[in-house]
């Protein structure tokens, strides 16, 4: 089925028109061919998917907050989390599941998932959750619920592997690897034209995503405590996933292709994990 050249909505099957009925009526109203009593029929935008109930972004957001509160209670120092120079102790972070290469690469692979829900202090979780709220909502509405969740987890694992491989003695926590993965997937998909959005919206959103990535890379290079390896691993995995989905499985109504892309990415990450473990002996 073809798409409307103006708004991107799907045109009826076997239609030779290039503009949908909604745009035809809208242009006629703009020219004044309809009187004021004639109302434009409301049609949802093609990129706005309505999700029933609680969104996954809110669930992930709530999970991060719940783990943070648990760490506050377990720390024994309720005010430590508010100090950006102190935060939670390394011992507490490791106990809750921080990603430490010497543990992760020697069998505790579950840390590649748990570290994504841990944060070092109040400023850390506040910034990450602010980014997640915007990027997560956009990714979930464009990709759909389960593709979005898969991208989030796979890119987060990729960021964890990069961190463990780059510095296996350094504990790593935070959702930023997965957030960079979402940004990477969106950049690749927008650039390759997966979504049927107006070109103005695509250019503006793509520009914002590029600014977000460049700013965070620059900001991360200024402070030694920021895990840039995790950011790079998540971003690269997101770019690969976004490109594969855009080229191989752009249609959400063909789930087997999407599953194939996600399984292929999982295979790549498994190979990378085996290679990193072999490298460090």
pLDDT for res 1 = 47
**Conformation bin of residue 229: beta by default, left when phi > 0, alpha when psi is -120 to 50:** alpha
Residue 10 DSSP class: B
Burial of 55 (0-12, 13-18, 19+ CB in 10 A): middle
pLDDT for res 217 = 72
In CATH, what class is 56-279?
Answer: mainly alpha
Mean pLDDT, each 10-residue run in order, the chain (281 residues): 60 60 71 57 50 81 95 78 71 93 93 94 89 88 91 96 92 93 90 66 70 75 77 94 90 85 95 91 75
Cα gap 68→84, rounded to integer Å: 14
Whether residue 119 contacts residue 64, with contact meaning beta carbons closer than 8 Å, is answered with: yes
User: For the chain, which residues make up each domain, given as ranges?
Assistant: 1-43, 56-279
Residue 81 DSSP class: G
The one catalytic residue among 141, 150, 172, 176: 176
Residue 254 DSSP class: -
Cα gap 247→241, rounded to integer Å: 10
Cα gap 125→245, rounded to integer Å: 30
Q: What is the pTM of this model?
A: 0.78
**Intra-chain end-to-end CA distance of the chain, in Å:** 53
pLDDT for res 12 = 59
Annotation marks residue 26 as catalytic = no
pLDDT for res 214 = 81
pLDDT for res 48 = 52
Annotation marks residue 208 as catalytic = no
């Amino acid at each position: 089925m073809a798409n409307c050249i103006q708004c991107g909505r799907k045109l009826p099957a076997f239609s030779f028109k290039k503009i949908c009925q909604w745009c035809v009526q809208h242009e006629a109203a703009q020219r004044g061919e309809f009187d004021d009593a004639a109302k434009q029929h409301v049609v949802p935008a093609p990129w706005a998917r309505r999700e029933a109930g609680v969104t996954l972004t809110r669930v992930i957001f709530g999970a991060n907050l719940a783990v943070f509160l648990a760490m506050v209670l377990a720390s024994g120092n309720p005010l430590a989390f508010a100090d950006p120079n102190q935060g939670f102790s390394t011992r507490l972070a490791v106990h809750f599941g921080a990603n430490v290469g010497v543990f992760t690469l020697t069998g505790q692979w579950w840390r590649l998932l748990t570290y994504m829900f841990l944060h070092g202090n109040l400023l850390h979780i506040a910034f990450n959750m602010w980014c997640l709220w915007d990027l997560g909502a956009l990714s979930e509405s464009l990709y759909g619920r389960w593709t979005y969740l898969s991208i989030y987890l796979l890119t987060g694992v990729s960021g964890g592997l990069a961190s463990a491989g780059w510095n296996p003695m350094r504990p790593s926590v935070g959702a930023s690897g997965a957030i960079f993965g979402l940004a990477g997937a969106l950049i690749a998909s927008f650039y390759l034209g997966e979504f049927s959005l107006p070109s103005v919206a695509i250019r503006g959103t793509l520009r914002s995503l590029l600014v977000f990535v460049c700013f965070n890379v620059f900001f991360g290079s200024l402070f030694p405590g920021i895990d840039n390896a995790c950011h790079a691993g998540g971003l690269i995995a997101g770019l690969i996933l976004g490109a594969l989905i855009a080229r191989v499985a752009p249609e959400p109504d063909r789930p087997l292709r999407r599953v194939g892309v996600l399984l292929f990415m999982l295979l790549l990450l498994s190979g990378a994990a085996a290679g990193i473990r072999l490298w460090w002996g």
